[in-house]
Amino acid sequence: MKDLFDIIRSQDLEALKEFLVEYPRGMDVETEDGVWALHEVMAQGNLEMAKYVTEYAIVNMNLIDRQGNTVLHYGVRSGNLELVKYLVERVDSPIGQANLHGVTPLDLALSLGRTEIQAYFEDQLGAGAEELYHNPICRGMHPDPSIVRVGEDYYMVNSSFVFFPCIPVSHSRDLIHWEVIGHAITDPDWARLKGLEGGRGYWAPDISYYEGRFYITATYRLNEGGLPQRMQMVTSSDKPEGPYCEPVFLEEEGIDPSIFTDLDGRRYMLLNRGARIFEISKDGREILSEPRLLWYGQNKKASEGPHLLYKDGYYYLFMAEGGTGMGHRITVARSRELMGVYESCPYNPILRQWDDKRLIQCSGHGMPVETQDGDWYMVYLCNRIGIAGHAILGRETALDPITWTADGWPLVNSLQGPSELQKKPKLASTEEGQHGMASPCIWSEWMTVRGAEKGIYEQQGDDLLIHGNGLDLNSLGYSTVLVRQQTEFCFGVCGKVSVEEGQTVDNNVADWDTGLTCYYDENSYLKLALACRNGQTGILSAEYVDDRYVTESFIPLEAECREAEFQIITEHLKRTLYFKRGDEWERTAVFENTSYLSSEGLKKGKRFTGATAGIYVNGRVTGRFTGFEIKLENK
């Protein structure tokens, strides 16, 4: 008997029929590379064989390979337009379903130059490729989005935890392209971040607009062991980019605050568990009433992230439920009266990922916004689970349309779950506004941890200087690091570092290291650095996990060497470290599994952030950094 894949590749339909008579479930096999027999049929582009297998064989047409490719991906690879039409029109194979690299069948058609298939897809979608966008819209660590529209401008805030400056404020005119224009807290003394563990700090902010001012509130989460552990920060500004006034901290237990202004002008704050509400002063700086529970939620597990919206005679209460993992979701209830009783939506959850094999998972914690043209959208958080099975990028921000049923209930993406490819909003004006960073500085590109002491960072032309304070990245007092969010699974980071001469402690040469880092928190990071150990200069490669350096290597260099050039190449969880010796790149280490840079990669503390990459100093030296660059590579 011929091998099944040989039969398929020879396109011998009669032989395939005979095979399936003898082995009715014989299609349920895959190659060593993870290609299923069903996918091989589609890749061959033989329409008659594809029809026979689809309509007569025992197969699962939702089957995906190890890379997340669908039958339609393989149909596109075949180049057979009629087969592609059959899969779309008769099998209902989705054009917008991405594989685990974020590539949809339309993207594949574009990359392979399948112009007829591309044109067919665009006709089916009712939009050209330039009129579509991919989720997530804000990549890398952008959790817990809250959004407000003022005129034609949209403003969004995201959680920052112990990263500083606190709570980035982003601006957009089209809901797709966002630019950070400021932060809610830029004064280290106001931030209160010193000594906080990773994952603490500022959670789930909310932005609102009232009588010419922008209000930002967020939970301020402290370390365990004392009281209070949670307070609600409130600050405001007459400009979205700031500067914002000195914050107040309201002592009410709970997380995920949002501010709602009722029709009579009275203002309220909502908090979990469930959705509790209490009145606050108009400036948001005082609590005026006791909390009252409005609704505990439909799922009744980890009910949080409440937001209120008044529309067409109803108060709509949106909630995040199910926890931030695979069961995350958005639910909604409504009432004619602010204080209830609230009726649960019969379509709940209105957003959830039901397919655990899709790229985008853990979708929830959303907030609706109405465009100036009367359309509705939901911003919400999500995770991308790559081929390595870890959400190393952290929680990101996605966007999907809201439609309203005839009886007035909001549905996100027609209850199909989070989209990976979607039509862009059609806005009357998409011209860029005049917003920019309130005072362009180092914080327009970088963030640090636990505040920034005066004099630690300097910008000299294109160079950055970091003055070390003698502490290492594992210390809760550490802050001499500058990082950016990791936004894709595959990327490269490079840069040069030099150390000034004459840096000593007690007239002896002290150990130090300075260079590149891939950083999650004080419990999880790696280093590629120029270092000094016992008076010897060299190249350091190291991984820190939990409470110790689990790997560490040192390549000695000439004693007087005080500069080096580095690069780190990341392919999902694998990271390869290089330094430049002369004109050649020399590999120093290969870290095959850096899952410790993801939230689920280590069970310790509050792990709600995501992987970052940047530059650092350990020890009492000054590092000068030149040419730092992140190069993205989609694989």
Q: Given pLDDT bands bounded at 50, 70 and 90, which one contains residue 438? A: low
Minimal CA–CA distance to 140: which of 421, 406, 488, 456? 488
Torsion of CA 85, 90, 91, 94, to 10 degrees: 50
Confidence of residue 506 (pLDDT cuts 50, 70, 90): very low
Bigger pLDDT: 111 vs 437? 111
Which member of 122, 174, 241, 304 is catalytic?
304
Greater confidence (440 vs 443) lies with 443
Cis peptide before 418 (omega within 30 of 0): no
Q: Token digits for 243? A: 């500067």
One-letter identity of residue 287: I
Q: Give pLDDT, residue 442.
A: 86
- Write down the pLDDT at residue 236: 98
pLDDT band at 504 (very low <50, low <70, confident <90, very high): very low
The whole-angstrom separation of Cα 412 and Cα 356 is 19
Q: Which helix (H) or strand (E) holds 95?
A: none
CA dihedral in degrees (616, 620, 624, 625; nearest 10)? Answer: -10
Provide, rounded to the nearest whole percent, the portion of the chain with pLDDT above 90.
90
Q: Rounded mean pLDDT of 176-191?
A: 97
Q: Band the pLDDT of 507: cuts 50, 70, 90.
A: very low
Q: Tokens for 349?
A: 């959850």
Q: How many CB atoms lie within 10 A of CB 15?
A: 16
Residues of the chain with CATH 1.25.40.20: 4-126
The overall average pLDDT reported for the chain is 94
Structural contact between residues 61 and 54, judged by C-beta atoms closer than 8 angstroms: yes
User: Which residues, in sequence order, are CB contacts of 339 under 8 Å at separation 6+?
Assistant: 277, 292, 294
Please give the Cα distance from 141 to 522 (Å, whole number). Answer: 17
Q: Looking at 43-57, 186-200, 557-571, which range is the least confident one?
A: 557-571
DSSP state of 196: P
Question: Which tokens in the block code for residue 93?
Answer: 């194979």
- Between CA 91 and CA 304 the distance in angstroms is 39
Going by DSSP bridges, is the β-strand pair 612-618/584-591 parallel, antiparallel, or unpaired?
unpaired
pLDDT-derived band of residue 189, with 50, 70 and 90 as boundaries?
very high
Task: Clarify whether 304 is annotated catalytic.
Answer: yes
- Ranges of CATH 2.115.10.20 domains, the chain: 146-423
The residues near 220 (Cβ < 8 Å, ≥ 6 apart) are 192, 201, 202, 203, 230, 231, 232, 233, 249
pLDDT band at 278 (very low <50, low <70, confident <90, very high): very high
pLDDT in tens, 133-158: 999 999 999 999 999 999 999 999 99
Q: Read out DSSP for 267-297?
A: EEEEETTTEEEEEE-TTS-SB-S--EEEE--
Longest dimension (CA), the chain: 86
More confident residue, 455 or 69: 69
The active-site residue, picked from 144, 513, 543, 565, is: 144
Is 18 among the catalytic positions? no
462 φ/ψ angles, rounded to the nearest 5 degrees: -90, 0
Do residues 277 and 294 touch, judged by C-beta distance below 8 A? yes
Task: Please compute the mean of the pLDDT values over residues 556-575 and round it to a whole number.
Answer: 93
State the Cα–Cα distance between residues 525 and 517, nearest whole angstrom: 7
- Rounded mean pLDDT, 345-360: 96
Per-residue confidence (pLDDT) for residue 186, from 0 to 100: 97
pLDDT tens for residues 575-620?
Answer: 999 999 999 999 999 999 999 999 999 999 999 999 999 999 999 9
Q: How confident is the model at residue 83 (pLDDT cuts 50, 70, 90)?
A: very high
Side chain identity at residue 476, one-letter code: L
What is the CATH number that goes with domain 4-126?
A: 1.25.40.20
Class level of CATH domain 453-632: mainly beta
Contact 242, 184 (CB under 8 A): yes
Cβ proximity of 378 and 357 under 8 Å: no
Q: What is the mean pLDDT of residues 330-339?
A: 98
CB 334 within 8 A of CB 316: yes
Residue intervals of the chain classified under CATH 2.60.120.200 are 453-632
Contact 602, 596 (CB under 8 A): yes
Q: Looking at residue 430, what is its pLDDT?
A: 52
**CA separation (Å) from 269 to 251, 278, 282, 327, 367?**
13, 6, 11, 26, 15
Q: Is the peptide bond before 440 cis (omega within 30 degrees of 0)?
A: no
User: Is 509's pLDDT higher than 60?
Assistant: no
pLDDT in tens, 196-230: 999 999 999 999 999 999 999 999 999 998 889 99
Return the half-sphere exposure (C-beta side, CA atoms, 13 A cut-off) of residue 70: 25
pLDDT category at 233 given cuts 50, 70, 90 is very high
Pick the CATH number of 146-423 from 3.40.50.20, 1.10.760.10, 2.115.10.20, 3.40.50.2020: 2.115.10.20
> Residue 39: what pLDDT?
98
Q: Which contiguous run of DSSP H or E holds residue 58? A: none
Residue 297, pLDDT > 60, answer yes
Q: CA-CA distance, 168 to 48, in Å (whole number)? A: 55
